[in-house]
Amino acid sequence: VTVADKSSDAVGRYYGIDFGTTFSCISYIDEYGRAEIVPGENQSFVLPSVVLFESADRVIVGQEAKNTAKLLPDRVIERVKRFMGTGWSTDQYGKTWHPEDIAAEILKRLAEWTTHHNGETVLDVVITVPAYFNDAQRNATRKAGELAGLRVERIINEPTAAALAYGLNSLKEKSKVAVYDFGGGTFDLSILELNNGVFQVLATCGNTRLGGDDIDCALICLLYTSDA
């Protein structure tokens, strides 16, 4: 889908960003109406949501940062999504970093992937967030996008985005749908009501400390402590 750039006669497109607890990705709709995920490092379609402060003026994002996490734990930030909209911060080389500052580095890296892949500059984006995110968390996510030099056109609930991707917006009658989101850092359930293409989140619940990463850790601990 292309949109007119309000500041010029240039034509750009909306990009969808899934800013995840453990992995993030960016996609767009091509000229044939198909959703395309932008590949990045080593042709991977997902970017580890990990930031490494290598020096006062060098920040590394992604797989390289993840690989260094065990060697420089005090310089690596993981799962920053869990701290969005809170008073948490970290001091790195004399500078205070808030969650939205760190998230901005992840979003910038995704934009760089896109420019490298298809030569387009990413400007207009839609970012998905958990349905349970409050106003502070949503505002922090929007600010992260702005700090990354992006125009955040909309913040969309992740279960709503999943329902749209599945094509549930084409249902002709009023319906209620349960969407399970089992992510790397969270597991939640949302009940959506669909009516003439309009989505409304009726209820949501879940555990923000129960995702794939947490299950991996539990299995590793079990193996280490098992008599077998």
Side chain identity, residue 3: V
| Helix runs in 11-169, H state only | 63-68, 99-118, 135-147, 158-166
User: Packing angle between helix 99-118 and helix 135-147, nearest 10 degrees?
Assistant: 50
Q: Just list the catalytic residues.
A: 18, 81, 158, 181
The span from the CA of 2 to the CA of 11, in Å, is 7
Residue pair 159/131 in contact (Cβ under 8 Å)? The answer is yes
- DSSP, collapsed to helix, strand or coil, labels residue 90 as strand
- DSSP, collapsed to helix, strand or coil, labels residue 225 as helix
- DSSP, collapsed to helix, strand or coil, labels residue 68 as helix
The span from the CA of 187 to the CA of 181, in Å, is 6
H or E stretch covering 180: strand 175-182
